Each structure stands twice: as C-alpha cells, then as structure tokens.
Amino acid sequence: MSIIKNKEQRVAVFVDIQNMYYTARHLYQSKVNFGAILKEAVGERKLIRAIAYAVKASMPEEGSFFDALGKSGFEVKTKDLQIFGDGTKKADWDVGLAMDVIKMAPNIDVVILVSGDGDYIPLVEYLQNHGKIVEVVAFGRSSSQNLINRADDFLDLEAISRKILLKFKEARPGNNLRR
C-alpha cells in the first residue's frame, strides 16, 4: 500500500489526541511526540493546516502539553471532558474532526488522519469518493484493520517508535473513558 507523494501536494493533518495518547500509554508506557509525527507524515509536501483535537481533563500538565502542540505547528482545539452521573467519562472529537475535514477538503489534496479509530471509515470513504488521498497514521497493533485497509496509505508508528515515543517520567493512575 504505497502512493506517490510529491512536493506539490497540499496536505492537512488531523490528530485524534486521545486515541494516540492512550494507545502509546497502554502499549508502550510512553507518550507521543506529536511534532515528530507531523514531520514524518508530511515529509516534503506542502502543509496547509495541522489540527490536534484534545479533551481538557483538568490535569496539571495540560497547559504545557497544549503549548508544546502549538509550538510544533498544530492548531489545538479543545473541549471539556464530560463526566456522567454514574462517574463514567466520555471524551471524543470524532464528529468535530470529521466536520472540519469535510469543510477543508476542497482546498487540500491529501488528508492525513492520525488515529486508528475505525469510526472514521465513512469519512475516509467520503473523501476518496471526492478525489482525495487519505493517509492513516497510527499504531498498527491498536488500529482498526478495516481503516488500515481502506486508507490509501498507512504509516505504522511502531515502525518509527524511536522517533516518536517519549518515556513517562512517572507513572500515572488509570482512566475510565467511555467511547
């Protein structure tokens, strides 16, 4: 699964922060260097826009994390974590991310989706039906195989883990997100 990538392609990158964060934490006991992912995914092509979608969970390190994303070239969109009466938590940007992609699609050639979430398959199909190239960047072990198969190209972050993973300085307690 390889496509031709050229310097004239207009590229936009859309990152599902929660998907990447929890995968790296669970599988690799690490955190993700999103700036390094951006460089690897875009390469020599023309970056039009890079948006990272995050959920505010009122954690002390959030501010510096969001600042680092901004300095790495991302526009950061945040929303508050929803906490339900039974204590469960919900945090996702699937619809918001998809709407942004659809709105920006006329001005880009390539959409790079940084997520392994199979919920994005209808978005991938829509974009491809409208002449866009869709690349998925995620950890293969935790990604939807159907999403990988549907994408025009797939970059398995495990193959470049030394470039994009950073070890945690200390252990953090678990989280019970509901998807």
pLDDT per position in the chain (179 positions), as tens? 568 899 999 999 999 998 898 899 899 999 899 999 999 999 999 999 999 999 887 777 788 889 999 999 999 999 988 788 887 777 779 999 999 999 999 999 999 999 999 999 999 999 999 999 999 999 999 999 999 999 999 999 999 999 999 987 654 455 444 44
Cα 54 from chain centroid (whole Å): 10
Q: Are strands 46-56 and 10-16 parallel, antiparallel or unpaired?
A: parallel
10-170 in CATH: which number?
A: 3.40.50.1010
The pair of structure tokens assigned to 147 is: 């999403």
Task: Name the pTM for this structure.
Answer: 0.88
Residue 42 half-sphere exposure toward CB, CA atoms < 13 A: 24
Distance CA 93, CA 40 (A): 23
- Residue 143 tokens read as 């990604």
